[in-house]
Amino acid sequence: MALKTEPFVLNIGPLHPSTHGVFRLLATLDGEVVIDIEPIIGYLHRGIEKLAEEREYQKDIPLCDRLDYVAAMSHSMAYVMAVEKLLGISVPERAEYIRVIMVELQRIASHLLAVGSIANEIGTFFTPFMYMFRERERILDLFDMVCGQRLLYNYMRFGGVSHDLPEEFIPALAKFINQMPGYIDEYDQLLAENEILLVRTKGIGVLPPELAINCSVSGPTLRASGVARDIRRCDPYSIYDRFEFDIPTRTAGDCYDRYRQRIEEMRQSLRIIRQAVEQLPQGKVNSQVPIRVRPPQGDVFVHVEAPRGELGFYLVSDGSEKPYRFHIRAPSLINLTPLREMIIGWKLADAIVIFGSIDIIMGEIDR
Amino acid sequence: MLGFERYGNGIARGMAVTLRNMFRRTITTQYPEERLNVSRRVRGNILGWSSEKCIGCYTCARSCPHGCIEITTSSRGARGPVAAPCNQACPAHVNAARYIRLIREGKPDEAVAVVREKIPFPSVCAYICAHPCESSCTRGQLDEPIAIRMLKRYAVDNDTGLWKQRSRVAPPSGKKIAIVGSGPAGLSAGYYLSKLGGHSVTVFEALPEPGGMMLVGIPAYRLPRHILAADIKEIEQAGVTIETNVQIDAPESLLEQGYNAVLLAVGAHEAIGIGVPGDDEPGVLGGVDFLRQVNLGRRVELGNRVAVIGGGNTAMDSARTAVRLGAGEVTIVYRRTRAEMPASAEEIEDALAEGIKIVFLAAPSGVTSKEGQLLLECLRMKLGPEDSSGRRRPEPIEGSQYTMPLDNIIAAISQRPVVPASFAVDTDKSNRIQVEKETLTTGKKAIFAAGDAVLGPATVIEAIASGRQAAISIDKYLGGSGDIDETLASAEEIADRASGPSEDWRPGVAAIPLGGRLDGFDGVELGWSRESAVFETERCLRCDITYNVEKYRLNGGLCIYCGLCVEYCPFDALYMSYEYEHGWYRFGQRLLEQEQLLVPDKVKPSGYAHPEIEETLPQQTLLIDRD
Amino acid sequence: MTAAGTISQASALASDWPGNFWLHLLVFALIILAFVILTVIILIWLERRLLGRIQVRPGPNRAGPFGLLQPIADVVKILTKEDTVPGWGDRLVFWLAPLVAFVPVLLVFAVVPFWNGALLADLNIGILYVLAVSSVASVGIFMTGWASGNKYSLIGAMRDIAQLISYEIPMMLSLAAVVLVAGSLSLNEIVAAQDVPYILLQPMGFTIFFIAALAEANRTPFDLVEADSEIVAGFNIEYSGMKFAILYLMEYSEVVFIAAIATSLFLGGWRGPFLPPFLWFVIKMFAVFFVLIWIRGTLPRLRIDQVMAFAWKFLLPLALINLVVTGAQVVFWPQAPYWSLVPINVTLLAALLLLWARFFRLGGSRVGI
Amino acid sequence: MQALSFDEIAGLISAKYAPEMVAPSQGSLVVGGEHLLEVASYLRGTPELDFDYLISVTAVDYRGHFEIVYHLTSLQHSHSLVLKVRCPQDKPVMPSVVSLWRGADLQEREVFDLMGVSFAGHPNLKRLFLWDGFKGYPLRKDYSSGT
Amino acid sequence: MEVGRERIYSAAELDAHEGALIEALRASSQQPVTDPDEWLQKELQRNVLVTSVDAVLNWSRRSSLWPVICFPACCAFEFIGASASRFDMSRFGMDILRGSPRQADLLITAGTLTWKMAPQVRRLYDQMAEPKWVIAMGACGITGGIFRDSYSVVPGYNRIVPVDVYVPGCPPRPEALLNGIEMLRQKINARSISTEGE
């Protein structure tokens, strides 16, 4: 005999410990079971696209940093690449290598945060999160060394990067890339086989590959569903064609796979950094592009593999010093498309984990 | 559906990890007691501003993404002028910064006077100067350099001859000087020796007309002949005698004729070949040879398909001239990329606009002739590491040969001087006359050398500077003071500037339409109107004047420490420093006035955008080093 | 097991120590109150410092030496904070709930022996009393959840009730096994009976008790009641000021309570060589605290259906088997020496756990919508 | 499994559709608004094209008309394509492609919210970032934030 | 179990309600709230003897500042960084991050505030029990920072809530935040219950 139940609405967010910022999930619950959700976003909509269109090209670099503040390097690099494509200028070799090192370090830092958050949402009392923050702090130290900031770097410039690496950078980086695999093993030891984590993530929130493709999901979330789409491989940009690395994929597409996927990508990023450090040439780090630029008329779409997925910049230039149209293809936003299918039918606690495993950053979603 | 197939093994391993970490040393920085040496480049909470270095150019305020910096300047107590970068970069040290201000005040004639203080060819330079001043213009780091040459052209076009009022003429000294070659170097030396030295100067020219490379190397569509003639006329009016169609074989003979000194300014008129097999095939021309023939009005037969080898200005001139002579398909072959091309950007643009194709990253490897048709064999190149000149060295790609069928090939790679053996002066391996650096004396008594003959292929302005140097040296040699400076413009008062240079870009330069261009050799470029010229002068940062900064204010609550202002300050007047104790209790408390933006000796600046300081700062203490 | 009885008789304090009935009541009421509050304060400090150490940071160290005064600062601050009552809540219930939740936890300590015979009331139905009274706290928690008029707190409270009812049963069964072995319901008697700590005689019982106690006290991995990442602060989300202080105290008192019960029933209570019995009691309690904090610093949280499944499908059958086995041992082999019972029971524990782990499945599947 | 170049794709398209429906221009296909769904389902459904992944949807305000830009790619063939659709400013309505690519869902809502172009057939077309009652469409060129 | 959400709430109504709230707040917050520290200056001037009750109260309050979770944007990660192992805010007794505003003392505004978010933050502040403090962290929190000119950004938290301490930076480094907290602790130390509520 079925109990007569009555659904009720639970408003999760916008300020909630697990919403990664200000995200509102209007969940309809039947007891603990989520029977419907409606994501409401826009609580961090700062109008970056409009602001960028009102500002000159070089002044938009700080804005791009603030899109995805956990992966500022990747975002400013994508933007700078788009403007470089518009301007038709090339980047010195050394700058390309520095960019790759920075972006891959950024990917590790971002994935550390993502994995730590997943662990937090499953309910560990901050411990894995703290461990991962410990290693993230080391990466931030490296960034700090290079450009003097910890979070929003403003490091990329048209035609290169703003500063050369300081002399103490390479030894510190070498030490980091030697120690990091050990730490990743420690995370695995702490989490990967933990039975509670397994029952909380395995088989939960499965995203089938067909749905993922149809919903234009990208990044680790897509690859965890078994689709090997990585812009670094399928449309190589910068100098990624010179490195040897794998595109790890997983098959189940559940929360556990999304977590493992990020761990694997960290290892691959370390591999890329190691090769980049070995090959790092000497030379200039920027090609003396004037501060203000006026790209010729035209439009350009540049996409890169940001830590959260396929990040695209669509710029339209009308020949003036300000972009005419500045559009960001934000991976986090589009990765939210299948959220409803993934969450419905699971319990409230699962909903939080599924949501966390997609790894979104509100700055990028709301812009 | 999962359970405990592994009997809690995973949980146990996790517990082991946490237990192990319990006994690790903590990684915490015990701030505020303990402080790490943060990054040496930290973009910290303190913005420092140096009133010593700041000239009030407003670049910081303009570079701020959202307007944190407020700045007002005035001329009260302004210091200067000192030598601006443009002034320093000019080989002849023409004070560009000053005449730009004069143009802004509506005094083009005074501006010409400023130019005339240093060079006797204001009009020629106004048309074809390679403008090293613009390359070093501070504004160029920001967006586009000031169009100094175009401003000079505006001044020259609107000259009233005011400079003559203050012109100084030295009394005759009775000494005679012979100058071989009537190029920019020879004529400049002659002008100054005659006007300010009081010597009697005779210039000997082998060609039928005076002007040297200005005449035979530069096509008339860039430098209309009447402009050149006008400048030479001024020189002749200063007392210089020019004898054309005279070939001098031995300088000693001139000394024997009674000349007290001889200046060899024969220029660099011999084209260097491509240096590949077959470069002597008929149909392969030298760049300067080709231009000389054309400019002297002689007929040159060109086929339809012409390739120009090289990436310098001579290559551009040759190609554009070839187009005007009726070549249908002109291709420039260059072994590097556009970024490395030595030709000036305007010329490249114009060449492209006139339908000339440029093949980058290709180098000729051989020329063969077949049934009256030339075949140019090329190798594709790729850019390797940077060489000593800072340009990336081209490296051939193996097996990438391809051929181009052509009618003519113009080798515009480089030139070298032609110094007849009868001169009997020392030359180096590229045939340049060896002189002493300062005095320009050759090994022989009373024989001097200047211009391209000494420098190798250089620019007009460098030749003029060399001529000036020779004039000083010769005047001293002949017992004069060597003072060839004169003041032609009136003294300057610094005008107020409350709002900084304009944020606009260079106004466009009008040119005669493309359709009419290719039929003849009329001057392509048209001058600026007064409006355009003044508009352009507003862009000048006035690096030579230190304005009095009345108000410099930073909104500390708005600032995001992006560091762009520090990075973009052309005068290193801004820096950042590190200290975090900068919270406050009241809104609006942190509008930092000039006084609060700390004086440099009180704070330790960070190395951000100041690499020179970086060495002296303590090393960064890293978390990595702490375990 | 008469030997145990003799120890109990020999060193026991008089039942009305230190004087008459009223003095006894007063002194022990004070002792219990002071003990609970002091232990809670130390526990809070210990937890924050230890979690800090687990997370390679020092934890609170500014308020007082080693940050020892940190919990006191917290308490003073919370007590002097504004007391808010949500306008849409049930005022009276909102007021009563913290008391209803806290008092039973305090009451439980009446039967906990700190020393041989040093307890407020040596009830001969001690364990029954413990189980009965401690369950009342859940009513208080449910009242908080209901009265707050907040969906999060209601979810938290519902979870608590569900959890409590489920885990009460395995817990009771595991304690029943102890009672069988000790032959008494009085806690003091049970302690006195432990010539060998019952953790060795009753490894299965201890395991079940410990897990169930974690759930009862809402500790990780069963802290669904206040699951921070899901339902923010759970049942106490609307509480502030003094009432929140009481709820906070209640939570940690529950931890002290389970540590005290575990110590008394399984770890030999106040018994131990050399040191005074009271100290032994405290040391053993802190050992339990350490394990609790360690678990909190490591493990993630289970989901509500998994928590329930774990209780009903895993713990309950094992507890029943344990009870049957223990009963059999007591009935058929009452004079069994410890050296033979300990290995037998440990092997039994291992075998049963392995067996159950093989077949037991956690985790519910998706609900079709 | 052959990646097609833009010209080959354009050739395939122009063989099937009249130039006023689809016209290649500067590396992108300009599609007439009313034919978008037809062309899009052809692009999605044809095996040799197989554009199964919609990278991005955005709109540009060219003062007078909007241009909706679709970036498509095929995971299998790894070729990509840009579709541009114009719609007049006075009647900013477009057919929605959500039925073909669910990935357009939030992006079309974004365009609707910030640019004011509505998509006929979108399942849940309402403001995404801004709140109900916000006046104007900020990304339009004539929008001024002055209050 | 087919239950449409329409039965429970109407999306359109909810949106309209939210929109009205935002517009009302926006209209009423065109001027900054005065900073609640006028008494600070007076206090220092009057040099009132801080009683022992005050001393204990202030000590306890400053030693146990529990921040509420309000992490809109970038600064959140520096805030988390400050509470993570490297800087460990818990040393000052701030390790208990309360998700519930009722139990928190300190609102650290870690990120850009948009008008859409403003009613929530205002409500969060209203729900916090007295005594409560606010630290405006970062340029966005103080003035709107780089997004000040935007159509949807509140130019500073002090339009919505009174702010006690401003910590500049974008984002402020954890050291700067800790310094701001230290400043707040000093401010708390200067309080007296006799003047409370003024």
Q: What is the mean pLDDT of chain E?
A: 78
Cα–Cα separations (whole angstroms), residue A64 to A57, A333, D141: 11, 16, 21
**D69 strand-pairing partners:** D58, D84
Residue A342: HSE in the Cβ half-sphere, 13 Å Cα cutoff: 32
Q: Are B511 and B501 in contact (CB under 8 A)?
A: no
Where b means 16+ CB within 10 Å and e means fewer, C128-158 reads ebbbebbeebbbbbbbbbbbbebbbbbbbbb
Q: What is the mean pLDDT of chain C?
A: 80
Residue B123: HSE in the Cβ half-sphere, 13 Å Cα cutoff: 18
pLDDT at site C118: 64
Which band of pLDDT confidence, cut at 50, 70 and 90, is reported for residue E119? confident
**Contacts of residue C122, Cβ cutoff 8 Å, sequence gap at least 6:** C15, C111, C113, C186, C187, C188
Residue B255: HSE in the Cβ half-sphere, 13 Å Cα cutoff: 13
From the centroid of its chain, how far is CA B328?
33
Starting at the edge strand that comes first in sequence, how are the strands of the sheet with D22-25 ordered?
Answer: D22-25, D28-31, D80-88, D65-73, D53-61
Q: Are D140 and D93 in contact (CB under 8 A)?
A: no
Tell me whether residues C58 and B26 touch, CB distance under 8 A: yes
Q: How many residues are present in chain D?
A: 147
State the Cα angle at B169 between B165 and B172, rounded to 5°: 160
pLDDT higher than threshold 70 for residue C18: no
In eight-state DSSP terms, residue A190 is I
Q: Are C201 and C345 in contact (CB under 8 A)?
A: yes
Of the residues C53, C70, C72, C369, the best mutation for testing chain E's interface (the one with the most E CB atoms within 10 Å of its CB) is C70
Which band of pLDDT confidence, cut at 50, 70 and 90, is reported for residue C166? confident
Contact residues on chain B for C360, CB-CB shorter than 8 A: 3-4
pLDDT tens digits, one per residue of C57-86: 888 887 778 878 888 888 888 888 888 887
Of E11, E18, E149, the CB nearest to D131: E18
Which band of pLDDT confidence, cut at 50, 70 and 90, is reported for residue A194? confident
Phi, psi of A28 (to 5 degrees): -100, 120
Which band of pLDDT confidence, cut at 50, 70 and 90, is reported for residue E8? low
**Mean per-residue pLDDT, D130-143:** 83
Residue ranges of the domains in chain C? 83-359
**B364 strand-pairing partners:** B378
Cα–Cα separations (whole angstroms), residue A8 to A5, A23, C207, E5, E7: 10, 20, 38, 9, 10
pLDDT higher than threshold 50 for residue E1: no
pLDDT higher than threshold 80 for residue A296: yes
Helical axes C241-266 vs C203-216, angle rounded to 10°: 180
pLDDT at site B390: 67
Rg (CA), chain C: 21
pLDDT at site E193: 61
pLDDT higher than threshold 80 for residue D30: yes
From the centroid of its chain, how far is CA E106?
6
The amino acid sitting at A283 is G
Of the residues A139, A151, A367, the best mutation for testing chain E's interface (the one with the most E CB atoms within 10 Å of its CB) is A151
Q: State yes or no: cis peptide before B81, omega within 30 of 0.
A: yes
Contact residues on chain B for E167, CB-CB shorter than 8 A: 582-583
Of A36, A62, A63, the CB nearest to E5: A36
Put simply, whether A33 touches C (Cβ < 8 Å) is yes
Q: In terms of DSSP H, where are the helices of B117-161?
A: 122-128, 132-135, 138-142, 148-157
From the centroid of its chain, how far is CA B458?
13
pLDDT at site C6: 46
Of C57, C227, C367, the CB nearest to A349: C227
Put simply, whether A123 touches C (Cβ < 8 Å) is yes
Of the residues E60, E127, E185, the best mutation for testing chain C's interface (the one with the most C CB atoms within 10 Å of its CB) is E60
Contact residues on chain D for A336, CB-CB shorter than 8 A: 106
What's the rounded Cα separation, in Å, for the pair B121 and B223? 12
Q: Are C89 and E119 in contact (CB under 8 A)?
A: no
Of the residues E1, E87, E98, E100, the best mutation for testing chain C's interface (the one with the most C CB atoms within 10 Å of its CB) is E100
Put simply, whether A196 touches C (Cβ < 8 Å) is yes
Q: Which of B101, B190, B176, B123 is nearest to B446 (CA)?
A: B176
Which of B:375-394 have CB within 8 Å of A? Answer: 385-386, 390
pLDDT higher than threshold 50 for residue E2: no
Touching pair D, C by Cβ (3+ pairs < 8 Å): no
Q: Which of C302, C71, C91, C277 is nearest to C192 (CA)?
A: C277
Tell me whether residues A194 and B564 touch, CB distance under 8 A: no
- What tokens were used for A225? 């569903």
pLDDT at site C3: 42
Which comes out higher in pLDDT, residue C243 or D18? C243
- What tokens were used for B545? 């004047």
What's the rounded Cα separation, in Å, for the pair D108 and D96? 8
**Chain B residues with a Cβ under 8 Å from any Cβ in chain C:** 1-5, 7-8, 11, 14-15, 17-19, 21-22, 24-28
Contact residues on chain C for A208, CB-CB shorter than 8 A: none
- Closest residue in chain A to residue C361, using alpha carbons only: A199
What's the rounded Cα separation, in Å, for the pair B361 and B340? 11
Put simply, whether A198 touches B (Cβ < 8 Å) is yes
Q: Which of A298, C10, C293 is nearest to B22 (CA)?
A: C293
Tell me how crowded residue B509 is: count the other CB atoms within 10 A of its CB.
Answer: 16
pLDDT higher than threshold 60 for residue D146: no
What's the rounded Cα separation, in Å, for the pair C305 and B95? 85
- Interface chains of chain D (3 or more CB pairs under 8 Å): A, E
pLDDT at site E46: 53
Which comes out higher in pLDDT, residue C352 or A227? A227
Q: Are A321 and A158 in contact (CB under 8 A)?
A: no
**Mean per-residue pLDDT, D23-49:** 80
- What tokens were used for B205? 């020219």
Q: Which mean pLDDT values do the consecutive 10-residue runs of chain B (627 residues) have?
A: 65 85 80 74 79 82 84 78 82 84 83 84 84 84 84 83 78 84 86 84 86 83 84 84 84 82 84 76 80 81 83 85 82 83 82 85 82 81 73 79 83 82 79 82 83 83 87 84 77 74 80 72 77 83 82 82 84 80 75 72 75 76 60
pLDDT at site A347: 84
pLDDT tens digits, one per residue of A124-174: 888 888 888 888 888 888 888 888 888 888 888 888 888 888 888 888 888
Q: Which of C255, C235, C253, C257 is nearest to C97 (CA)?
A: C235
Of the residues A145, A197, A202, the best mutation for testing chain B's interface (the one with the most B CB atoms within 10 Å of its CB) is A145
What's the rounded Cα separation, in Å, for the pair B578 and B67? 22
What's the rounded Cα separation, in Å, for the pair D71 and D145? 30
Tell me whether residues C57 and B3 touch, CB distance under 8 A: no
To the nearest whole Å, the CA of A44 is away from the closest chain E CA by: 6
Tell me whether residues D131 and A42 touch, CB distance under 8 A: yes
pLDDT tens digits, one per residue of A162-184: 888 888 888 888 888 888 888 88
The amino acid sitting at D41 is S
- What tokens were used for B552? 């410099």
To the nearest whole Å, the CA of E123 is away from the closest chain D CA by: 18
Of A35, A121, A197, the CB nearest to C229: A121
Q: How many helices (H) and strands (E) in chain D?
A: 3, 7
To the nearest whole Å, the CA of C359 is away from the closest chain A CA by: 15
- Determine whether C243 is exposed, middle or buried from the number of CB atoms within 10 Å of its CB (0-12, 13-18, 19+): buried
Which comes out higher in pLDDT, residue D41 or B600? D41
What's the rounded Cα separation, in Å, for the pair B329 and A240? 39
pLDDT at site E5: 43
pLDDT at site E6: 46
Where b means 16+ CB within 10 Å and e means fewer, A145-170 reads bbbbbbbbbbbbbbbbbbbbbbeebe
Which of E:16-45 have CB within 8 Å of C? Answer: none
pLDDT at site E4: 46
What's the rounded Cα separation, in Å, for the pair B334 and B340? 10
Put simply, whether A48 touches D (Cβ < 8 Å) is no
Q: Are A140 and A155 in contact (CB under 8 A)?
A: no
What's the rounded Cα separation, in Å, for the pair A137 and C140? 43
Touching pair D, B by Cβ (3+ pairs < 8 Å): no
Find where tokens 């104790």 sit: B581
What's the rounded Cα separation, in Å, for the pair D41 and D20? 18
- What tokens were used for E177? 């935040």
pLDDT at site C297: 85
**A313 strand-pairing partners:** A302, A328
Of A59, A141, A166, the CB nearest to B624: A141
pLDDT at site C17: 63
pLDDT at site E44: 53
In eight-state DSSP terms, residue E11 is H
Which band of pLDDT confidence, cut at 50, 70 and 90, is reported for residue E3? very low
Q: Among A242-246, B610-614, C260-264, E73-77, which is the least confidently predicted range?
A: B610-614
Which comes out higher in pLDDT, residue A78 or B168? A78
Q: Which of B138, B143, B42 is nearest to B569 (CA)?
A: B138
Contact residues on chain E for A63, CB-CB shorter than 8 A: 146
Q: Among B105-114, B501-510, C217-226, E1-10, which is the least confidently predicted range?
A: E1-10
Q: Among A208-222, B187-201, C15-29, C324-338, which is the least confidently predicted range?
A: C15-29
To the nearest whole Å, the CA of C53 is away from the closest chain E CA by: 10
Q: How many residues are present in chain A?
A: 367
What's the rounded Cα separation, in Å, for the pair A293 and C109? 77
What's the rounded Cα separation, in Å, for the pair B345 and B347? 5
pLDDT at site C312: 84
- What tokens were used for C303? 């989901």
From the centroid of its chain, how far is CA B332?
23
Which band of pLDDT confidence, cut at 50, 70 and 90, is reported for residue E194? low
Rg (CA), chain A: 21
Which band of pLDDT confidence, cut at 50, 70 and 90, is reported for residue C22? confident
- Closest residue in chain A to residue D82, using alpha carbons only: A301
Of the residues D30, D51, D53, D72, the best mutation for testing chain A's interface (the one with the most A CB atoms within 10 Å of its CB) is D53
Put simply, whether E24 touches D (Cβ < 8 Å) is no
Helical axes A93-122 vs A169-187, angle rounded to 10°: 30
Phi, psi of B129 (to 5 degrees): -60, 145
